[in-house]
Amino acid sequence: MNPPARWVVVTGVAVLSLIAVAGFAIAIWAAWLFHDMPDASDLADYHPPTATRAYAWDGTLIGEFSRERRIFVPYDAIPPKLAQAFLAAEDHNFFQHGGVDYGGIVRAGAKDIVNIAQGRRLESGSTITQQVAKNILLTNDATLGRKLKEALIARQLEKTLSKERILELYLNEIWLGYRSYGVGAAAYNYFGKSISDLDIAECAYLASLPKGPDNYHPIRRKAQAIGRRNFVIDQMAELGWITRPQADAAKAEDLKVQPEPTRAKYRDADYFVEEVRRRGLATLGDRINEGGYYMRTTLDARLQSAARTALMDGLEKYDRRHGWRGPWGHVTTLTGWEDVAKKSARPAERRTWRAAVVTGVGGGVAQVRTVEGQVGSLAGEDVAWARAGKGIGTGDLVWVDAVAAGPGFRLKQIPIVNGALVAMEPNSGRVLAMVGGYSFSLSSFNRSTQALRQPGSAIKPVVYAAALESGYTPASVVLDAPISLAGANGAIWSPENYKHEYLGPLQLRKGLELSRNTMTVRLAQGVGMNRISALAERMGVTDHMDKVLAMALGAGETTVFKLTGVYAAFVNGGRKVDPHLIEMVQDREGKTIFRADGRDCPRCNAGFNGDESPRIPDAGAQVMDPITAYQITSMLQGVVQRGTGTQALVLGRPVGGKTGTTNDYRSAWFMGFSPKLVVGTFVGFDDNRSLGEGETGAQAALPIFVEFMQEALKGYAPDDFPTPKNAKFAMVRGIREAFRPGTEPKVAIAPEGTNAIGPIPYNQLPLQGLPGQPPPAVPPSKAKKPSDDITGLY
């Protein structure tokens, strides 16, 4: 073979070898590239992570729980104009191509030559189908390998899914900024609307966002946003999806959005919603953040708003009683003070409060200017209040609120005291309202469920219920007098009454109405702490109560939430209901996966066949005799009528309740109720310091209850408390008392001190309701009051 021929052969062999090597390398690269390529058929049953939405009892949206803010919208519910806007912006040939738009790839490829040379990101040229493949099954890497995978998967998707399903996935999956995934969430976050209410301009703006939400931010880059929106509108007109006059009208619209994304229009239930989230997480696990559940809660929006207002008002009134603490800030010059003021944190719930600077003080007048530029003077009484406290001067930064009628401002102060309010339906345990503090925006700690505090005398109804369950009656008499008992480590325990007053032998009713401490301790001796602790645990005061007499005066700890549930048993006939916030949960298909009411009703779903209607058992376990529950309810009505809760008489309704104040006025309680509503209120500092002399439950907590009930009871008929069927009644001291059959007096007991025969000597009345004597007391002369004594309970 001649040399040229040999060269040709060698060259041919070399080329073939190179081709083989290259082919082998490409095969290895392709095998590596596609070995883990997702299967497009996986999307047949794919559901994007969707927010769980929580609703009040009346259907008001109150909150959402999710990692990605998404509201899934099925294809049939997507307005045509919205879909057309996205098609005009992203892929107008969507319904014609098979997943890959080769013309679009050529156009993008030509631009990418320049982009590569200039080090820029590659153009996508991707169809909507390719974007679905990338967003759900692949990564965002701008590489050739990813683009090849994207194209192959897009072709598979077109063979597996319908065009409508692909577009549905795209419109629900895509990131659109403003904390929004998908068009449902974007419509709500940007415009506060459902997608069905969007106009053409709003549809076009949402369709402009896939290219980069930050590039077309509606506030920071409004001009660019309007420009991109108008381009999309023009595209829709050129494609014949809207008319030119419609396009011109849409382009003439301003771009107006909400200042920030909001999860719900209703804003008074932050503590409630957060507690729902925690309990939902405990019940459903992490699925709550992606399952797209429908969650119906027990919240009554009207009562919730009333509860928030009442608690905030009550805490502000307490705070005002204790004086002006001074401004929250101070500036030495009135130039640029607004920058300092804007960094301050006001209670988000006080939407009308404004940061202001004092511009001048003199002659009993203080002039202020708000951060918005409004000027005026503070009310004279507020200036006097401030001067009586820490004083007020030029340059002070303060909170003000406009006077309701006329010019001027009221001086405001954020309380440092806190509190809680829980309102519950007693027969079911539905929590109708919950406020866990003065302001959720300032502190998310929920004092209604998370703060363990001593309940003071608010625990006494449980002690008296244990006595009635043990054979005592409302007419039983126990001595209210000083008492000293041997305590731990040889110390002497000497509980005392509020104001150190003692009334001698008293009937049980009177002792509870007037909240007598020493009488309650003697009663607890007679009943035994074993019985009292067992009842308290059954009723849900606490999981474990120490069997010591101090517990009878509220030395243990509980929460407002738990104690409200305890009081529900007095109103509902002695049943322990399960206090709950979540009534029902359904999955995205409408299947109920959780229901709070676990009672069985086998015939409820059967058609009517002429038989009597199904009888559903009452909710909750019976923890005390219905007569006992009614006796306590009646006694607690007496607390309002004649005892420590007479402020509630202003309600003009059948209501009952019990005050509670702990040692050194550290916590103030009022637990109150009507036949259809049980309410717990608490006031106290987070660090458990004293509220101050005289800040009892009647002074600090009861007014909050009254303000709340004045609004809440507008929705309820003025019914009286139902009586047990087998109760016997007799007049005792002019009061109609309930008794168990066989324990009622055979003749009426006349008003205290007299009857038809003459005066009733106290020494002829039993000092306790059961046979036997209480344990011997230490003589008062030998008593020493320990420093940690529980005293002054009221």
* Residue 447 half-sphere exposure toward CB, CA atoms < 13 A: 26
Complete DSSP assignment for 754-783: B-SSSB--GGGS-SSSSSS-PPPPBPGGG-
Three-state SS sequence of 325-351: CCCCEECCCCCCHHHHHCCCCCCCCCC
Q: Which residue has the tokens 């930050």?
A: 214
Which residue is catalytic, options 64, 90, 150, 425? 90
Q: Which residues contact 80 (CB under 8 A, 6 or more apart)?
A: none
Please give the Cα distance from 307 to 408 (Å, whole number): 28
Please give the Cα distance from 82 to 183 (Å, whole number): 9
* DSSP E strands, 287-417: 294-297, 329-330, 354-362, 365-370, 375-377, 396-402, 409-412
Cβ–Cβ < 8 Å for 675, 424 = no
Told to judge if 457 belongs to the known catalytic residues of this protein, a careful annotator would answer: yes
Query: Tokens in use for 49?
Result: 């992570």
Please give the Cα distance from 745 to 735 (Å, whole number): 13
CA angle 745, 746, 748 (to 5 degrees): 70
Cβ count near 596 (within 10 Å): 18
Query: Tokens in use for 215?
Result: 């590039």
Please give the Cα distance from 369 to 357 (Å, whole number): 5
> What Cα–Cα distance (Å) separates residue 658 from each residue in 102, 567, 636, 647?
78, 10, 6, 12
Cβ–Cβ < 8 Å for 456, 793 = yes
Give the DSSP H/E element, type plus range, for residue 318: helix 301-321
Please give the Cα distance from 228 to 217 (Å, whole number): 11
Give the DSSP H/E element, type plus range, for residue 166: helix 163-173
Please give the Cα distance from 272 to 444 (Å, whole number): 11
Q: Give the single-character DSSP code of 241.
A: S
Three-state SS sequence of 436-483: CCCCCCCCCCCCCCCCCECCHHHHHHHHHHHHHHCCCCCCCEEEECCC
Q: Which of 460, 421, 424 is nearest to 635 (CA)?
A: 460
Which residue is catalytic, options 66, 439, 457, 515? 457
Our CA dihedral for 657, 661, 666, 672, rounded to 10 degrees, sits at 0
3-state secondary structure of 589: coil
Burial class (CB in 10 A: 0-12, 13-18, 19+), 717: exposed
Q: Which residues contact 167 (CB under 8 A, 6 or more apart)?
A: 75, 78, 83, 94, 128
Q: Which residues contact 349 (CB under 8 A, 6 or more apart)?
A: 267, 268, 308, 312, 439, 440, 441
Q: Which residues contact 383 (CB under 8 A, 6 or more apart)?
A: 361, 364, 365, 366, 392, 411
Residues with catalytic function: 90, 457
